[in-house]
Amino acid sequence: MTDLAPRGAPPAAATLRRAAPALLGYVAVRALGLLVLAVWSAARDKDAYTLLTARWDALWYTRVAELGYGYEVRLPNGDVHSNLAFFPLLPWLERLLAATTPLSYADAGFAVALLSSLAAAWGIFAVADHLYGSREQEGRETRPWKGGGGRRAGICAVLLWAVLPVGIVQSMAYSESLFTALAAWSLYALLTGRWATAGLLACLAGLTRPVGLAVAAAVWTAAVAALVRDRGRPRADRASLLGPVLAMLLSPLGTAAYVLWVGRHTGKGPLSYLDVQAGWRNGFDGGYAFARFVADKFTSFPSALAGVALIAGVGLVAWLYVVCVRQGQPPPLLVYAGVVTALALCASSYFGSKPRLLLPAFPLLLPLARALARARTPTPALVVGAAAVASALYGAFWLNGSGPP
């Protein structure tokens, strides 16, 4: 396994300069996706900007920003859709921008998504570059995986994240981009020994989405490893252990604070957030509902093809995780990606949203990025270019459909 002893990070300006090609490539991919969406939507007499900012979850977030919590919809079947299901950090940012700029709440959500997606891309590059690259400023190899693609691997990781089939969500007024940015930089802080930063970012991730627990789990994994490794140090040197302890205390606070607040707000106890999610038919059943959903696809020939595709997709995700383990990814990354994947695949939520829920699991892309970085020059460009076109077309088709992503 990779040693998690702290290794200093370069200054932010140097990191940004190093990440510039990745960020430019990311902007190009996202611009293509938005252009295709605009053309496709216009051909169907729909407004692309409305699809990005004022439908499905985006609309729920803007309502929280504008009106606060307490809004709910009662469906004919008895289900209750409460806006308490949506964590508060994105609405808070929307409200802040709307109060300090001429932007509407929807505009603010779009702006947060765009800025967060860039921050997420930068964070993904930083993680991949740290794992696979060498420190040119020190003139020696200090990375755990020798022979990695370094900067090329970081660029490939960002571009692969950008061209995911559901990459258009990165440009929507949803919380995925914000969460991925916080998670990526928290993981980077762990890898570079910045415990307080890692804990604070994990806390903020916990205020963004329920899956913030995955970031907290990664922090705890790294902190426990550090405490065990350093338990034999002389007492005078144990001040350095305060960092891991502080990170452990900070990391779950965001999730815990919101869940407990919901319990107090509803007056139904500290775990009433689970009841709120149940009103949306969201829960954790170990994948039983998803397995039944896939099995039902095989009741007729046309839908059986979709069933085969779903099984292949789940198999690909599982295979990528196994490769991550075999390549010796740092334990915090493995724990983070594992928890995100498990919560996405084993939840009884709306099945069409599962690809979106997997979007923050970027460590699964690192083996592919490493392989692509090692390929000869034309290959990465061809692969990414073809995937970008396919992603743009699929994103436009997906958002112009009837169901929420």
pLDDT above 50 for 301:
yes
Q: What is the reported pLDDT for 2? A: 44
Q: What is the pLDDT confidence band of residue 312, given thresholds at 50, 70 and 90?
A: very high
User: For the ranges 2-16, 24-38, 93-107, 257-271, which has the lowest average pLDDT?
Assistant: 2-16
In the structure encoding, which two tokens stand for residue 266, read together?
């509803």
Q: Is 135's pLDDT higher than 80?
A: no
Sign of the C-alpha dihedral computed for residues 54, 168, 317 and 340 taken in this order: negative
Taking Cα atoms as reference points, which of 332, 373, 333 lies closest to residue 147? 373
1 is a domain residue: no
Q: What digits encode the pLDDT tens for the residues 330-385? A: 999 999 999 999 999 998 877 778 899 999 999 999 999 999 999 888 888 999 99
Does some domain include residue 179?
yes
Answer whether residue 224 is part of any domain.
Answer: yes
* Structural domain contains residue 405: no
Predicted pLDDT at 146:
38
Alpha helices by DSSP H, listed for 230-300, are 242-250, 253-266, 272-279, 288-296
What pLDDT, on the 0 to 100 scale, is given for residue 232?
A: 64
Task: Note the pTM of the prediction, 2 decimals.
Answer: 0.92
Using alpha carbons, list the distances in angstroms from residue 34 to 116, 121, 235, 395.
16, 17, 57, 9
Q: Of residues 142 and 125, which shows the higher confidence score?
A: 125
In a domain, residue 392? The reply is yes
Structural domain count of the chain = 1
Q: Residue 7's pLDDT is what?
A: 55
| Residue 7 within any structural domain of the chain | no
- DSSP designation for 194: -
Contact 276, 82 (CB under 8 A): yes
Predicted local distance difference test score (pLDDT) of residue 147: 40
**Does 6 reside within a domain?**
no
Q: Would residue 127 count as lying in a domain? A: yes
Contact 221, 213 (CB under 8 A): no
Convert the pLDDT of each residue in 235-277 to its tens digit: 545 557 889 999 999 999 999 999 999 999 998 888 899 999 9
149: confidence class by pLDDT, cuts 50, 70, 90: low
* Phi, psi for residue 80 in degrees, rounded to 5: -120, 115
Are 104 and 275 in contact by the 8 Å Cβ rule? The answer is no
138 has a pLDDT exceeding 70: no
Distance of alpha carbon 340 from alpha carbon 284, whole angstroms: 13
Write out the residue range of the structural domain in which residue 84 sits.
Answer: 15-399
How would residue 151 be classed by pLDDT, with cut points 50, 70 and 90? confident
254: its two tokens: 């965001």
- Asked whether the CA dihedral 76, 82, 85, 86 is positive or negative, the reply is positive
Q: How wide is the angle at C-alpha 86 spanned by C-alphas 81 and 88, nearest 5°?
A: 145
- Torsion, Cα 212 217 222 223, to 10 degrees, reads 100
